[in-house]
Amino acid sequence: MEADMARWVDVTVPIRHGMVHFPGDPEVVIESTEETHSWGICRVSKLSLGVHTGTHVDAPSHFDVPGGGVEAIPLAGLIGVARVLALRGPRIDPSVLEPHDVQAGERVLFKTSNSDRCWSNDEFVPDYVYVTKEGGRYLADRRVRAVGIDYLSLGGPDDGPATHRHLLGAGVCILEGLDLRRVGPGTYDLLALPLLIPGADGAPARVLLSRLE
C-alpha cells in the first residue's frame, strides 16, 4: 500500500556543499567520485560535515550535561504530537512563552521570523531569534518533552550554553535548524529521525510534520 505522503510537510533543510553553518563549525563538503567499469558507472560520494549541520538534534554531551550522546536521546521525544507556536522575537523569554500555556510532556516547535529571514540567506544570520536562558529554564521547569527552533541554535550568542544546559539537563530533546516556512501555527504529528551515531553530540535529522485536524 502507498503511504499517504501528501499529508506530510518536509521541514528539513537540505544538506548541500558549502551550505550555511554555525560560525566555527566545520564546512559542509560533498565530493562525488565516479568510477567507470566495464558494466557502467558507479558513484560513491564523500560527505564531511559537523553533526550540528542543518536540521539536527543536540545530545546532552554537546554541553557536557550527563545523559550521553545521540544514541541516548529517546525517540519518543521526537515522534508524536507537537505544537507549532508562532513567536515574535527578537528573543524568546518567559513572557513570550507564557500566553501559550505550555504543558508538561508537550513537544513545542517555535516558528519565528528566522524561517523566512534566515533560510533564504546563504550567509550566516547573526541576529537570529533565540531562546534566552530564562526561557530555557522556564521550558525545563514546565517539563516539556521536546523544543525545536527554526535556525541553527536554540540559544543566543551570549547565554546559548546556559539555555542548552537547562533543557538538556532536564532531559528535553532539542531540535534545531527546522525550516518552518511552509508550516503555520497549530497541532501536528512530528516525525524526527536523527542519524544513529553513537557517542556523537548531535546528529542531522530528517523531520516531517503532518497537520492534525
- Number of residues this chain uses to bind Zn ion (CB under 5 A): 4
- CB 98 → Zn ion: shortest distance, Å? 26
**Residue 58 interacts with Zn ion (CB under 5 A)?**
yes
Interaction mask 153-192, Zn ion, x per CB under 5 A: -----------------------x----------------
Contacts of residue 61, defined as CB under 8 A and 6 or more positions apart, other chains included, come to: 67, 68, 69, 199, 201
Indicate the SS3 state at residue 125. Answer: coil
**Residue 201 interacts with Zn ion (CB under 5 A)?**
no
Cβ proximity to Zn ion: between 23 and 99 the closer is: 23
Cβ proximity to Zn ion: between 184 and 199 the closer is: 199
Burial class from Cβ neighbours inside 10 Å (0-12, 13-18, 19+) for residue 117 reads middle
Measure the CA–CA gap between 33 and 208, rounded to whole angstroms.
31
- CB 128 → Zn ion: shortest distance, Å? 13
Q: Which stretch binds Zn ion (CB under 5 A): 50-58, 90-98, 132-140, 182-190?
A: 50-58
- CB 6 → Zn ion: shortest distance, Å? 31
Helix (H) or strand (E) holding 47: strand 40-48
Which amino acid is residue 15, in one-letter code? I
Beta strand 186-194 pairing with 79-86: antiparallel
Measure the CA–CA gap between 96 and 85, rounded to whole angstroms.
11
Q: Is 62 a catalytic residue?
A: yes
**Residue 150 interacts with Zn ion (CB under 5 A)?**
no
Among candidate residues 52, 62, 164, 166, the one labeled active-site is: 62
Measure the CA–CA gap between 84 and 112, rounded to whole angstroms.
10
**Residue 52 interacts with Zn ion (CB under 5 A)?**
yes
Cβ proximity to Zn ion: between 32 and 149 the closer is: 149
- The residues of the shown chain that bind Zn ion, judged by CB under 5 A, are 52, 58, 176, 202
- Enumerate the active-site residues: 62
